[in-house]
A and B are shown apart, each in its own frame.
Chain A
Amino acid sequence: MSNVKQNKELTRRDMLFGGLRCAALGVMGAGGLAAALKRKKLLREGKCLNNGICPQCHVFADCGLPRARSIRDKNSERSDG
């Protein structure tokens, strides 16, 4: 195979890889954004984000759901008593 042909192949490959990279970046960016927005949406709707693992959940301190509230109440009862 001549060098010219090989270089052409390389450029074609580079272009293909460049395109794939952009596509992958786009998918990851869009996916990341969608996941972050989903979290916001669930929080707004007052839904549990973490399958009820309250004490280890990031929003436990401010969570208004009944389970989180009752655990917080129990915790404060325990610390008072």
Chain B
Amino acid sequence: MNPMRRTGIILLTALIISLFFCFAAGADTGALRFPPPDFESGYEMPATETPPSASDIYEYLAVIVLAAVLGLGTYFVFTKRKRKYIWGLMIFSLAFFGFWRRGCICPVGATQNITLTIFDQGYAVPVVVIILFLLPLVLSLFWGRIFCGTACPLGAIQDIVLLKPLSVPYWLEVPLRLLGYVYLGMAVLLAVTGAGFIICRYDPFVSFFRFSGSLGALMLGGAFLVVGIFIGRPYCRFLCPYGILLRHLSRISKWKVKISSDECIQCRLCEDSCPFGAIRQPTGEASGEELARRKKMLAVSIVLLPIIVFAGGLGGARISSLLARAHPDVRLADRIYREESGEVAGTTDQSEAFRSTGDQSIESLYELSAEIQATYHQGSRLLGAFLGLVVAASLIRHTVRRRSREYKADPSDCLACGRCFELCPNERLRRQRIKEEEDLRVG
């Protein structure tokens, strides 16, 4: 593909991801607050019909299926090492967890439920959710991101549209990946403060799984899929908050996905086979000069660490009032204040509803809003410091030179898709050997 087109597509990815954040920031949830009006005609509002919860059997079935898929996935990735089996399992997961279970509840979104369980004394999640959340994480400690390659419906829907993969340059890949930390941090902050579950609300693919959704959500999901034709799994690589947890746990996994089943012969056939930029090249010997330069860079990065963390904290605190507006009570209090002080003319549905219900005085609304803003102030400071830490750690990581004599799948980025296996000549030899042994046994 010519460089112009490639740059265009990469820019488009960046644009869609920015649009994602704008969509998330601009969505109005105020309608949820709107109470029913008092009808003078005596009309009675019909009660909202919500479907009953799925029976517990189905919930446990989901856990059993997830465990089975993960077990089979591990077997396919580590023993069978065949893309077609992995692909088949992925399609099954897309059908079962995506279309049949309508993408809910999934470990990705459960991150918020678990966060709220930790921070809210009055909230608890069903055991099924705890298991669904923990199972892939525990597995990743041993075998890496098997969940991403075989069980996640969000990953699967992007994987099947990946037809013309392009590589994203490393200098762009690294900062884009940091966006996932922003999203994770925001999701935790908003869940803790009770503003909502943004991972679920802005899940780009759930409207496809449910065959319904707002136009905005459908367009966002569609845009991700269009970009996903060229850029492998953009949501997974640059946004997924659960993927971040998996990424870090996989880094210390006991067994890692190996491109070659035998010693790498450096034929370079696999070099460009990973559409997710997870293959690392052999490093060769470093010159004394390079080592000295890296040592210097490492020292500078370590000195910079506390400064970046501190600056992040300061920056976070500065935007806290902006973040606090994600909370409906803060938005309402602000609106009422501006109406009362004559800054704006007219009323909104929410402010009118607030006044007509009279459940709460304006003063107590202001107090509540101030309390929430104080929580956001602390939370945003922590969020900023956390992001600073992520940036500093990434700097340090890039100054450390790891020696490697072979082409390797980076365990933190490898999604266990099995594409690279197919190109490795060692792998072909292994399969041939197995086939011959099987033929001998049968014969």
Contact = CB atoms under 8 A, between A and B. Distances in A.
Given A21-B141, A28-B138, A74-B47, A39 B124 contact: yes
Contacts of A28: 134, 137-138
Interface in B39-77: 47, 50-53, 56, 59
Given A35-B125, A39-B126, A49-B124, A57 B53 contact: yes
Nearest to B52: A55
Interface size class of B (residues with CB under 8 A): 20 to 34
Contacts of B345: none
Interface string B104-136: 000000000010011000111111001100100
A55 B403 contact: no
Nearest to B254: A21
Interface SS, A side: helix
Contact of A56 (B53, B122, B125): B53
B53 A58 contact: yes
Contact of B51 (A24, A50, A55, A74): A55
A25 B403 contact: no
Interface in A4-54: 6, 17-18, 20-21, 24-25, 28, 31-32, 35-36, 38-39, 42, 47-51, 53
Contacts of B254: 17-18, 21
Contacts of A24: 141, 249, 252
29 contacts: A6-B403, A17-B252, A17-B254, A18-B254, A21-B141, A21-B142, A21-B253, A24-B249, A25-B141, A31-B118, A32-B131, A35-B114, A35-B118, A35-B130, A36-B127, A39-B124, A39-B125, A39-B126, A42-B122, A49-B123, A50-B123, A55-B50, A55-B51, A56-B50, A56-B53, A57-B53, A58-B56, A74-B47, A78-B47
